[in-house]
Chain A
Amino acid sequence: MNIHEYQAKEIFRRYGVPVADGGVASTPKEAESIARSLTTDVIAVKSQIHAGGRGKAGGIKMVKTPEEAAKATRELIGKVLVTHQTGPLGKQVRKVLIEAGSIPKREFYLSILIDRSLARPSFLASTEGGVDIEAVAAKSPEKILKEPVDPAIGAQPYQARKIAYALGLGGPHLQATVNLILNVYRAFIETDASLIEINPLIVDQRDRVFALDAKMNFDDNALYRHKDIQAMRDLNEEDPREVEASRFGLNYIGLDGTIACMVNGAGLAMATMDIIKFAGGNPANFLDVGGSASQEQIEHAFDILLSDANVKAIFINIFGGILRVDRLAAGVVAAARNLKISVPIVLRLEGTNVEEGRKILKTSGLNFLVGETMKEAADLVVKAVSVGA
C-alpha cells in the first residue's frame, strides 16, 4: 500500500525523523492559515499524489506569502498532473502539503527496503540526492552504498556512522544523521514498511539535516496489524476496478489491451498475458481468480472484466487442480447466461475432470470456443478479436 508524502511525514515525526514544519490542506483557506502559522521566508506548496516527478510536472510551487500559498493551492487543487510515474492519464490533485520551504545546501539519497537475496533489510545511500536513483544505479553504481542490517539485532550506531561518513556528514552533522538513520530503521520495522525513501535528504542553509521528501510503501500482508496505516489508504489513487476486485478476493490489474483474461494462479496469469502477446494480441488485464473460485466469484470476475469498454473477447485459462474443471465450467456457463455475455469467450481447460468440463461447455447451447492447448486458445482469441474489429 502507498501513502502520500504528508502522511509519511506524519509517521516520520512520530519516530523522530526530522521534517520541515507544515500541514496538509484541501482548500486555499486552509492553505493560507497553515502558511500563516509557519515562521519562514519561503513556503512550499506541494501537490499530494501517489507518484514521483511532481516538481517537473509543475506540481510544486514555491511562494513567499500566505496569500500566494492560497493562490497556488487554488491553481493546484483539481489539476491533473502527468509525470513519468502516473501514466498518460495522470493523477488529479486533491490535497496539497504546505511546508516551510528550505534551500538545500547539499542533497543526498537515503532509503531502506528488503534485500531479497540477503533476506535482510538494507539501507541504500548516495551522495547523488534529488535525482532519479535508478539512473544513478545504472550509470555510477559505485556512488550507492548498501548497508544490510542483521534483523536479529537491528540497525547499529556504527552502521549509521558508516553511512553518515560515506555521505560526508561527519563532524557537526554526525549525531543528527546517526539519529535520523536509526529512527528510519525503527519506523521501517515497526510499521511493516516495504520501502522508506528520502530523496532528497538535505542539509539546509542553517545546517539542519532533514527529510525534504518522504515516501513510504507498506507490506499489504502486514496491514492487519496496523489499523492506523490502513486508515491512510486513499482510494482516489487506486483503479476502482482493482478496488472492486479485491472486495471479492480477486487479484485484478487493468491494462490497455482488448483481450480480457481470467486465470487461476498468478504465475499462469502472467504467462497467459505473455502468450496472448506472443500470438499478436494485447491483454486487457491481469486477473487471478485463485485456487478455489466459486460461481459467485466467477460472476464478479466477469462483471469486472466487462466493465472495461475496450474488451472484445475473453480468454479463460484454467489449470484445474484443487479447482475442478467441471465445477468451473458450470460456473462459467451460469455466469455467461446470467450476464448475457455477448463477446466471444475462448476457454482452455486442463486438469481434474476436464472431459466433464468440456462436455458442460458443449451442451450449454452457448457459443464457447475451446482451445486444446494454451497456444491454440491464444491463437483463437486473437483471431476472434481481429474478426470482431
Chain B
Amino acid sequence: MSILVDANTRLIVQGITGSAGRFHAEQCLQYGTKLVAGVTPDRGGEVVQLDSQKIPVFNTVGEAVRETAANVSCIFVPAPFAADAILEAADAGIELIVAITEGIPVIDMVRVKRALQGTVVKLIGPNCPGVITPGACKIGIMPGYIHKPGPVGVISRSGTLTYEAVWQLSSRGIGQSTCIGIGGDPVKGLDFVDLLEMFETDPQTEAVIVIGEIGGNAEEEAARWIKDNFTKPVAAFIAGATAPKGRRMGHAGAIISGGSGSAADKIKALESCGVAVAKTPAEMGETLLGLMK
C-alpha cells in the first residue's frame, strides 16, 4: 500500500513536447511509471520517443483519457497556460493532477481551487516536485534513486528539503511509503491535513515527516489535526527560522507577516501537539528515527 499513486497508476504528461516535460517524462518512465500518453494542443497524432518507447501525443486530455484510460496527469505547461491545463484535466475525469509548473498567478489558482471545490479531483502543487511511491511510481521531478520503499510518509512544502529528508532516511536504511511535495505557493491543492488523513489509513505508513516553512498557517492547522486525529509518530522541520521579517524567500508562500507564520510559532504549535521538531535540517532523519525506536 501507499497513498495517491502506485504501480497501477496510468500517467499522462501535459506539455510533453516541451523540453522540461519531455526530459522528466522520460525520467518517470525509466523509474517504472506507466506513462501512457502526452498532451499538447495541435500536436495530436505525433509520437514522442522516450527511452525506446513510443508515447502517443493527443490534442486534448479528454481524448488521451478515452484512448489510454489514464487516471493521473502531470503538468509541465508554462505558467500563463497552466491553470487552464489543470481545469482541462479535471474536466476530462483525471482523478489526480500533479502541477509541477512554477510561477502561476495566484488569482488563477484561486479560480482553479474554486472550480475544483465539491469535485473528487485531487490537485498536488503547483510549484512542487511531485509525488513518488518508491519502487512503484514516480510523478514529477524528484531524483528517483534516492528513494527506497518503506514505512515513512513524507510531506513537504519545499523540493530540495524533501530530497534532503528522503536522503537522510534512505541512507539510514529507512524507506518511504509515499513522498509528496505540496509546493510553496500560497494557494495550492492538497495540504498537510489532507495528506495526513490519507497516511492515517494507509497500513504501510508507520510514521510521517512533515517539512514546513515560514508563512501561512498550514503547519499550525496540521499540528492541531495531528493532536486530535493522528495515531502515528510525526517528526517535523520548519525552514526559515532566521529569515528576516517581511521578506520573500523564493517561495511565494514564505512571507512572514506579523506574529503568525513565523517559524517560532509553528515550532511551538507542533511541539505542543506532540510532534518532534528537528532543530536543524541535518537532523530530520534522526529525529524521526528517535520516534520509531
**B214 and A270 contact, CB distance less than 8 A:** yes
Chain A residue at minimal CB-CB distance from B260? A137
Q: Which residues of A contact B167 (CB under 8 A)?
A: 319, 350-351
The interface stretch among B7-15, B30-38, B47-55, B108-116 is B108-116
A263 — nearest CB in chain B belongs to which residue? B160
A283: interface (CB < 8 Å): yes
What are the interface flags for B243-279 relative to A under an 8 Å C-beta threshold, 1 for contact and 0 otherwise? 1101111111110011100010000000000000001
With A and B bound together, what is the CA distance between A263 and B263 in angstroms? 20
A278 close to B (CB within 8 Å): yes
Q: For the complex formed, measure the closest distance between the CB of B227 and the CB atoms of chain A, giving whole angstroms.
A: 18
User: Who on chain B is nearest to A288 by CB?
Assistant: B250
* Cα of A195 to Cα of B167 in the assembled complex, Å: 39
Is B105 a contact partner of A266 (Cβ separation < 8 A)? no
Binds B, one of A7-15, A160-168, A216-224, A299-307: A216-224
Find out whether the CB atom of A274 lies under 8 angstroms from the CB atom of B250. Answer: no
Q: CB within 8 A of A119: which of B79, B109, B251, B280?
A: B109
CB under 8 Å from chain B, chain A span 253-268: 253, 255, 263-268
A335-383 CB contacts (< 8 Å) to partner B? 350-352, 373-375, 378
Most-contacted residue by chain A among B109, B243, B244, B250 (CB, 10 A): B250
A137 to B211, CA, bound (A): 28
Q: How far is the CA of A277 from the CA of B279 in the complex (A)?
A: 11
Interface residue stretch chosen among B68-76, B199-207, B234-242: B234-242
Indicate if the CB atoms of B243 and A286 lie closer than 8 Å: yes
Q: Is the CB of B280 within 8 A of A319?
A: no
Interface residues as binary, A105-139 with B (CB distance below 8 Å gives 1, 0 otherwise): 00000000010110111000000000000100110
Which of the residues A114, A225, A269, A277 comes within 8 Å of B186, measured between beta carbons? Answer: A114
- Are B240 and A274 neighbours in the complex by a CB distance under 8 Å? yes
Mark out the residues of chain B between 108 and 160 whose CB falls within 8 Å of any chain A CB in the assembled complex: 108-111, 113-115, 141-143, 145-146, 156-160
| Contact between A265 and B213, CB atoms less than 8 A apart | no
Chain B interface size, as a band, is: 35 or more
How distant is the Cα of A152 from the Cα of B281 in the complex, in angstroms?
41
Q: Is there a chain A Cβ closer than 8 Å to B21's Cβ?
A: no
Tell me the bound Cα distance from A318 to B101 in angstroms: 22
User: Which residue of B is nearest A195, CB measured?
Assistant: B257
> Known contacts A275-B280, A275-B281: does B216 contact A286 (CB below 8 Å)?
no
Question: Which single residue of chain A is at the shortest CB-CB distance from B161?
Answer: A267
The minimal Cβ–Cβ distance linking B130 to chain A, given in whole angstroms, is 11
With both chains docked as a complex, state the minimum distance between the C-beta of A79 and any C-beta of chain B, in angstroms. 23
User: Contact at B279–A270, with CB atoms within 8 Å?
Assistant: no
User: Is the CB of B59 closer than 8 A to any CB of chain A?
Assistant: no
* A274 in complex: contacting residue of B104, B115, B251, B280, CB < 8 Å: B280
Given A138-B259, A286-B249, are A266 and B254 also a contact pair (CB < 8 Å)? yes
Q: Produce 1/0 per residue, A304-335, CB < 8 A to B.
A: 00000000000000011110000000000000
Residue B218 CB within 8 A of the other chain: yes
Q: Does A151 contact B (CB under 8 A)?
A: yes
B108, closest chain A residue (CB): A222
Interchain nearest-CB distance for B281 vs A (Å): 4
A75 within 8 A of B: no
Bound CA–CA A388/B242 (angstroms): 24
Q: Evaluate whether A119 and B281 lie within 8 angstroms (CB atoms) in the complex, with A192-B107, A270-B249 already known.
A: no
Q: Which residues of chain B come closer than 8 Å to A319, judged between CB atoms?
A: 160, 163-164, 167
B108 partner residues in chain A, CB cutoff 8 A: 222
Which residues on A sit within 8 Å (CB–CB) of B217?
Answer: 117
A291 engages B141 (CB within 8 Å):
yes
B114 touches A150 (CB 8 A): yes
Q: In the bound complex, do residue A114 and residue B280 qualify as a contact, i.e. CB atoms below 8 Å apart?
A: no
Cβ contact within 8 Å between B110 and A151: yes
CB<8 Å pairs between A and B, sample of 17: A116-B253, A119-B109, A119-B110, A137-B258, A192-B107, A221-B104, A221-B252, A225-B80, A253-B248, A268-B160, A270-B254, A271-B161, A273-B240, A277-B241, A321-B163, A322-B141, A350-B167
Beyond A268-B160, A286-B249, A378-B282, 9 additional pairs, beta carbon < 8 A: A134-B259, A219-B105, A267-B156, A267-B158, A267-B161, A270-B158, A270-B249, A321-B163, A375-B280
Q: Which residues does A use to contact B, with CB under 8 Å?
A: 85, 114, 116-117, 119-121, 134, 137-138, 150-152, 189, 192, 194, 219-222, 224-225, 251, 253, 255, 263-278, 283, 286, 288, 291, 319-322, 350-352, 373-375, 378
By a beta-carbon cutoff of 8 Å, the part of chain B in contact with chain A is: 79-80, 103-111, 113-115, 141-143, 145-146, 156-164, 167, 184, 186-187, 211, 213-214, 216-218, 221, 237, 239-244, 246-254, 257-259, 263, 279-283
